[in-house]
Amino acid sequence: MSSTFHSASLIPGRFGPYGGRYVPETLMVPLFELERAYEAAKTDARFQAEFADLLKNFAGRPTPLQFASRLTAHLGGPRIYIKREDLLHTGAHKINNAIGQGLLAVKMGKPRIVAETGAGQHGVASATVAAHLGLECVVYMGTEDMARQALNVSRMRMLGAQVVGVDSGSRTLKDAINEAMRDWVTNVRNTHYLLGSVLGAHPYPTMVRDFQSVIGREAREQILAAEKRLPTHLFACVGGGSNAIGLFHQFLRDASVKMVGIEAGGRGSQLGEHAARLAAAQGFTGARPGVLQGTYTYILQTEDGQIATTHSISAGLDYPAIGPEHAWLADEGRAEYSAVSDSAALEAARLLSRIEGIIPALESAHAIAGLIERAPKMSADDLVILNLSGRGDKDMDTYSRLLGTK
């Protein structure tokens, strides 16, 4: 892999053939408005200072890069460091992007935000930022996800957000996004759509990546300080892909750094049993390029082009599409994507909890499982950074039920 790898094409909003802006005409104006506001914010010293201040004094950055000594010894392979995004305010990396977009909403004079959420962490982050900035907040959430993430529903309501259950389709993240977009179309004059991942129409995939790239910037500085060299491997779970691209982005041009995204392998390789968009080499079926919710990317779909149902034990990973930059990184061979099963993720969560004293979110447990699978083929010279994107408080009901921890 060339060290001159570029992380985006020359066309704004495009990653190779992927990305773009495939939306109804009514959304073009607010998307252009958002793009202009974001481009201006990049060089606005006041905006950047406020963003940096909130990341530090409200969210709790920088997060530690912890050497996982016992996990390293247990796996007997690479030296493993964990990027502790779970220690942020609200319990996940989602707060980074929510702060950035919340400030943009204020900048654009939009007093109301709408958001979607699957695992609930983005909804909690959006509600938290809205409360802090004095914005009205409405969060759309599939009723299936509301049932398995009841704690986060309570947190959002405690913060003053209105949580709207979505009972259509699979009643999960895809359907929540549909409803949030319908709300935005209806209320574009006073509402900003605070999209939570590197999905959707331009400028969202680029903008969300940029807000999350603080993860990789910190991790790069921290690993160089601790080990005096770059990592050989990066691991992160991939649903839409914001935590993964937030870690990967600062290392894209370093050919020696391998990047591994772990998807939800669910309970089987057949369409409808998983949410693996890029793990075709493992036999996971159904993914091919198409357009969903404003962007051209890999999508799990039936032979006649209908969006497929998905399954994952993790509410944050069961989305049928993937961020367009990840699609391009996969095509280019710059990043590797594979999937692990529900059961492997559960066992990985139990292992990390008992070996390191850290209970991970089910999403992050997939990344841990992916590392566990690869560790026997790695050497003591390998150096890993694993992004622990969220903590497992929200998943304790699932862990208790399936791992017998009650």
Q: Could you read off the pLDDT of 281-331 as tens digits, one per residue? A: 999 999 999 999 999 999 999 999 999 999 999 989 999 999 999 999 999
Domain of residue 250: give its range. 62-91+213-403
Residue 127 lies inside a defined structural domain of this protein? yes
Secondary structure of 379-390 in HEC code, one letter for each residue:
CCCCEEEEEECE
Q: Which residues of the chain have pLDDT under 50?
A: 1-4, 406
Q: What is the CATH number of the domain that holds 131?
A: 3.40.50.1100
| Edge-to-edge strands, sheet with 295-300 | 14-15, 18-19, 295-300, 287-292
Please indicate, yes or no, whether residues 310 and 392 belong to a single structural domain of this protein: yes
Position 174 scores a pLDDT of 87
Measured from the Cβ of residue 19, the count of other Cβ atoms closer than 10 Å reads: 30
Give rounded-to-5 percent helix, strand, coil for the chain. Answer: 45, 20, 35
Please indicate, yes or no, whether residues 264 and 154 belong to a single structural domain of this protein: no
| Residue position matching structure tokens 């693996």 | 276
Position 10 scores a pLDDT of 62
Q: Could you read off the pLDDT of 90-112 as tens digits, one per residue? A: 999 999 999 999 999 999 999 99
**Annotated active-site positions, please?**
94, 116, 389
**113 close to 137: Cβ distance less than 8 angstroms:** yes
Please indicate, yes or no, whether residues 86 and 159 belong to a single structural domain of this protein: no
Rounded Cα distance between 374 and 319, Å, is: 25
Residue 370 lies inside a defined structural domain of this protein? yes
Position 1 scores a pLDDT of 40
Residue 2 lies inside a defined structural domain of this protein? no
Position 8 scores a pLDDT of 52
Position 148 scores a pLDDT of 85
State how many domains the chain has. Answer: 2
| Residue position matching structure tokens 């495009």 | 14
Residue at which a domain ends, from 208, 233, 249: 208
Helix (H, G, I), strand (E, B) or coil at 295: strand
Position 3 scores a pLDDT of 44
Please indicate, yes or no, whether residues 197 and 297 belong to a single structural domain of this protein: no
Rounded Cα distance between 115 and 102, Å, is: 11
**256 close to 232: Cβ distance less than 8 angstroms:** yes
Please indicate, yes or no, whether residues 340 and 280 belong to a single structural domain of this protein: yes
Rounded Cα distance between 254 and 231, Å, is: 10
